[in-house]
Amino acid sequence: MAVLAALSLAGCKDSKDMDNPFFSDWGTPYGIPDFGRIRADHYMPAFLEGMARQKAEVEAITSCADEPDFENTVLAYEYSGSLLTEVSGVFFNLSECESSDEMVAVAEEVVPLLSAHEDDLALDAALFARVKSVYERRHELGLNAEQLRLVEERYKGFVRAGANVPADQQERFRELNSQIASLTLRFAHNVLNSTNAYRKELADGTEVTLDIPTWEPFMQTCPDRALREEVWHAYADRCRGGEFDNTDIIDSLVNLRLERANILGYATHADYVLDNCLAANPANVYRCLMDIWTPALNMAKRERDEYQRMLDVDEPGARLQPWDWRYYAEKLRAERYALDDAEVRPYFSLDSVREGAFMVAGRLYGLTFRERTDLPSYNAEARCFEVLQGDSTVGILYMDFHPRSSKRSGAWMTEFRGQHRDRQGNNVMPIIQVVCNFTKPTAGKPSLLNFDESETLFHEFGHALHGLLSRCTYPSLAGTNVPRDFVELPSQVMENWCRHPQVMKMYARHYQTGEAIPDSLIARARAAQTYGQGFMTTELLAASLLDMDYHTVKSGRHIDAVTFEDEAMAKIGIIPEIISRYRSPYFQHIFTTGYDAGYYSYTWTAILDADAFEAFEESGDLFNPELAARFRHLLESGNTVDPMVLYRQFRGKDPSPRALLKRKGML
């Protein structure tokens, strides 16, 4: 009753409401959110008002006396909920990088309300009847290609959201959505809290945390095997029991997702997810992953044998363990290629790598990036760039690079506002955000990256370009709103430029001397490019297969996450010295951030990105203007065209896995 009362009163403004920045134009350049004015207590009133407004807009659609058509039904719904979209875009993005107790409290209250609101729309029989009427007559309405795509995607979206769920199952369907939404939120909070809870003081006065920028270098360089074991377990055993346990949440999520999929007519949750992806079904995913699993595992076994021989020298009789792998991998890398992080990092300062990414975008697409310190920002560490094409502004890009206790781990791209055209046909420019967790600079030294971190920056920047270069009309088809197993192509293909010797010579410069990275170091880096690929590919594929195993469960049963994971790993024959890239209790991709039954997409898309970059290499010009123009068209098109049609238009053929296996040294 309190929620209903709040919704009914949401349209009534008092003086306090008028202070809420969400209830007026931002009054800022480019319509950037006025971060400095937003307080935690502004969010809930704005969410409630946004839901109330969208309900009123939908009621106007369903009460329309005119026959349903594209304009009065599909287009009207496409542009409904603008306030809700705006407040969600700010709140959920900041929840991941500027969290607080107040934000957590708002999230816990609003997530169930949003789930119920989304169900109200999806299960509105009158609304769906009008959308279905337009869909069934879509070829008779004189629609252009993008309008036709919007009708088809909108109809499919309603069906997938439950529009055809029988009336006697709708209450349970709503309960499932609400419970799933709340549990994913709790899962994320547990991982953040567990990660922040661990601090290990070392004898030299430094501190190890579970943030990858400090954890991984420690594991690579610490000679104390017992200490490595302690710190490894602190990372790998997060959320397995104790205050921040996620194992019961996994049990619930797997079963709730299965039940929801069954109600929607699918045998498993994976069948439901993949019905809307290029992979189409679980069998295709398993086939793709297992085609690469065997050569990857064989390579990992050869790597293991080398590291075991090194351990035999240091500690005769000891057996290699997961906490030894990174240490001996780095040691052998240094011996074999005379290459280690300490030698590499000085040439990859964060600023140099960022400018390198900007340079590649400039050479390919003619973009320039102008830093703007005068525009609103949510944190002093977040840098803001105006993205230009000639003299015209394309969009705004925020880059937030360093760990904070308020920020979740990992790296990601998102948007405060996506590109689209408004109802009057005016272009609305995107406001894009890239978030990473690189080591902070010190008083005498900038943030210095290794190869993997440099590729991470290029990767997320590739996602940003997908959002920035979007040239679509409708919000739901624009930018990165593409199938999950296609969305990683623009990001992963950028990694190829990052690691190419010709491009490294352009941007990798010593932070003290300004000297370009030496050819000898590039040659060693090139020789080492396939080094460690057995481990990296095996742990990635193991996580992908674990994800698929959870979400191809066909009948409800108790899921003990630890036992389930052990059995899944035994089934594929993973060696005990390697674990899944993410163990289940902190596997946020599949239990929080929307990659459930979709983590395979990193491998699926790697086939596309290797094949795509090979086109540039074959042309003899890494910045080939004709190929760049064709790839830009792919980026600009969002989901207005079938993604594989876009890919074939770019490449002139279907993708082949040969380029990926060659790149990994597995042919």
Question: Could you give the percent of the chain with pLDDT greater than 90?
Answer: 88
- Cα gap 12→53, rounded to integer Å: 12
- CATH number of the domain residue 9 falls in: 1.10.1370.40
Burial class of residue 423 in the structure, from the number of CB atoms within 10 Å of its CB (0-12 exposed, 13-18 middle, 19+ buried): exposed
- CATH code, 208: 1.10.1370.10
Which pLDDT does position 524 carry in this prediction?
86
Number of domains in the chain: 3
Does the structure show a pLDDT above 70 at 6? no
Q: What is the pLDDT averaged over residues 30-37? A: 96
Q: Is 291 a member of any domain?
A: yes
pLDDT at position 2: 32
Within a domain: residue 631?
no
Query: Quick one: 490 and 551 in the same domain?
Result: no
* pLDDT tops 60 at residue 404: yes
Task: Choose the final residue of a domain: 527, 555, 580.
Answer: 527
The reply to whether 17 and 107 lie within a common domain is yes
Q: Is residue 170 part of a domain?
A: no
Selection from 590, 591, 339, 613 nearest residue 458 by Cα:
613
* Per-residue pLDDT at 17: 66
Residue 341 pLDDT > 90:
no
CA 383 – CA 437 distance, rounded (Å): 14
Q: Are residues 287 and 412 located together in one domain of the fold?
A: no
d(C-alpha 3, C-alpha 6), whole Å? 5
Mean pLDDT (whole number) for 64-91: 98
Mean pLDDT, all residues of the chain? 94
Q: What is the mean pLDDT of residues 357-366?
A: 98
Let me know whether 216 and 83 are in one domain: no
Cα-based distances in Å from 590 to 118, 543, 551? 21, 10, 10
Last residue in a domain, options 547, 564, 599: 599
Task: Average the pLDDT over 274-291 and give the result.
Answer: 94
Q: Are residues 362 and 485 in the same domain?
A: yes
Pairwise CA distance, residues 520 & 522, whole Å: 5
My answer on whether 270 and 301 are in the same domain is yes
Task: Judge whether residue 5 has pLDDT over 70.
Answer: no
87, part of any domain: yes
Catalytic residue among 78, 259, 330, 460: 460
**46 CB-contact burial (10 Å; exposed 0-12 / middle 13-18 / buried 19+):** buried
Return the pLDDT at 16: 52
Q: Phi and psi for 320 in degrees, rounded to 5?
A: -55, 140
Instruction: Look at residue 81 and tell me whether its pLDDT is greater than 70.
Output: yes
Asked whether residue 636 is assigned to any structural domain, the reply reads no
Residue 285 lies in a domain: yes
568 and 521 both lie in a single domain? no
- Examine the pLDDT at 7 and tell me if it is beyond 50: no
Does pLDDT of 519 surpass 50?
A: yes
Quick check: is 230 catalytic? no
Burial of 5 (0-12, 13-18, 19+ CB in 10 A): exposed
Does the residue 169 lie in any domain?
A: no
What pLDDT score does 8 carry?
A: 35
pTM for this model (two decimals) = 0.86
Question: Residue 120: which pLDDT band, with cuts at 50, 70 and 90?
Answer: very high
Q: What is the predicted pLDDT for the residue at 124?
A: 96
Judgement on whether residues 401 and 319 belong to the same structural domain of the protein: no
* Residues 400 and 542 grouped into a single domain: no
Domain span including residue 269: 191-339+535-599
Average pLDDT (172-178) is 95
Judgement on whether residues 380 and 428 belong to the same structural domain of the protein: yes
Q: What average pLDDT does this structure show over 275-291?
A: 94
Mark whether 552 and 591 lie in a shared domain.
yes
The predicted-structure confidence for 376-389, as pLDDT tens digits, reads as follows: 999 999 999 999 99
Are 478 and 554 contained in the same domain?
no
Residue 179 lies in a domain: no
Q: Which pLDDT score is estimated for 213?
A: 85
DSSP category for residue 165: S
